[in-house]
Homo-oligomer: A and B are copies of this chain.
Amino acid sequence: MTSYKKMTKEELTELSKQLNKEYSEAKAKGLTLDMSRGKPAAIQLDLSDRLLDVMTGTSDFKTENGMDVRNYGALDGIPEAKKLLADLMQVDAANVFVGGNSSLNLMYILVSNAMSLGILGNTPWGKLEKVKFLCPAPGYDRHFAITELFGIEMITIPMSEEGPDMDMVEQYVNHDETIKGIWCVPKYSNPQGYTYSDGTVKRFAALKPAAKDFRIFWDNAYAIHDLYDKGDNLLEIFAECKKNGNENLVYEFCSTSKITFAGAGIAGMAASEENMAEIKKIMGIQTIGYDKINQLAHVRYFKDAAGVCEYMKKHADMLRPKFEAVLNTFERELSGLEIGEWTKPNGGYFISFESLEGCAKAIVAKCKEAGVTLTGAGATYPYKNDPKDSNIRIAPSFPTEEEMKLAAELFVLCVKLVSVEKLLENC
């Protein structure tokens, strides 16, 4: 296909007319599709309905260490749930805390407590003049919303297929003690689907932060969320940290939100012995313990981590066609046009699209006008401010495959339309 960039003004004008006509027709179809969030589809949730049956009619509510899951207690989770999440994160159960239904909530708690109470005896962040976080971007908007809420200054770090720009990360972290944290989605990053390379993980684990209370927020949300039999491999970071005597550096998070129920799974975090002792001390004041019935139900349903991994193949079978519907449409309709680039992830929940500069907001608006809701343009950057206005996050999970095809076709049409207009402006 001819690159739009090589077209004359006349050709672009003609093309614009044709695309506008197509857009009018598309609008007339009256689509109403939501691709804004990484929500599992109903068929994926159906997969786990029987999890709700495993406690049915039972009178056995005891954990392996004899605790009644219906009563108070077990602040850090029941042993078998700690083991399950530990195995999924490839860490030791002693280093795991099982929380409620939301890993995001665990992240919030750790930032919030660092703000008002401080980490391991260091000055509470809220009492410091300046606190900054590094934000690899495009990234996850809900991470950025937490740091923004607390008035933590966010610094954008560019992403590549290897992960965040580690030269920049090292420069900041090792020399600036106002840098207190970094948000990472190390596997199938949100929104690109990149997995940090071994080299990147090793460099993270070897950081020598100027701030003693600098922490990596390692949001391993898609640890086992492969789309294909051969998924990406992420180096386990705590083992690397250990080599450098650096285990306090990382808080890791995971959840079953995209394994069982998005709203009613179990979430966990992993931390070094010293960090975990502090986490438990503070957690013990903010709650008596999280829902242990749901923890036990999850363990009885899956048996073990191998059971979970096997289960993920069913999710992959449901998600793959949707991802491919998008990618095939992009390939067919956009390749060679030089008006956009996109990632081709092996897992996770998103595809990242880079439009021509200054086009993302307009593309999202055009899609919305024709009934397809995308994540707001800019949302993938700190302060919702994408400096190039070019990144769009595509979330293919929620619509059906058929809907996804329609949505992708509308999307590429909007990309073409907005790009042509942008190119005409610059003629």
Residues of A within 8 A of B (CB): 37, 39-40, 42, 45-46, 48-49, 52-53, 55-59, 61, 68-74, 100-102, 104-105, 108-109, 112-113, 115-117, 124, 126-127, 142, 145-146, 149-150, 257, 261-264, 282, 285-294
Shortest C-beta distance, A286 to chain B (Å), equals 4
Query: Contact at A264–B292, with CB atoms within 8 Å?
Result: yes
* A40-B71 contact in complex given A53-B56, A112-B116, A113-B112, C-beta closer than 8 Å: yes
* A72-B39 contact in complex given A49-B59, A59-B49, A117-B150, C-beta closer than 8 Å: yes
Query: Contact at A69–B263, with CB atoms within 8 Å?
Result: yes
In the complex, what residue of chain B is closest to A266 when comparing beta carbons?
B291
Query: Contact at B68–A104, with CB atoms within 8 Å?
Result: no
Give 21 CB contacts A-B under 8 Å: A39-B72, A45-B68, A48-B70, A52-B56, A72-B262, A74-B263, A100-B101, A100-B291, A101-B291, A102-B289, A102-B290, A112-B112, A112-B113, A112-B286, A126-B126, A142-B288, A261-B293, A263-B290, A263-B291, A264-B291, A294-B294
**Which of the residues B68, B257, B285 comes within 8 Å of A42, measured between beta carbons?**
B68
Shortest C-beta distance, A314 to chain B (Å), equals 15
Residues of chain B within 8 A of A124, CB atoms compared = 126
- Assembly CA distance A117 to B111 (angstroms): 12
Query: Contact at B264–A70, with CB atoms within 8 Å?
Result: yes
- Assembly CA distance A287 to B292 (angstroms): 19
Query: Contact at B290–A101, with CB atoms within 8 Å?
Result: yes
Shortest C-beta distance, A72 to chain B (Å), equals 5
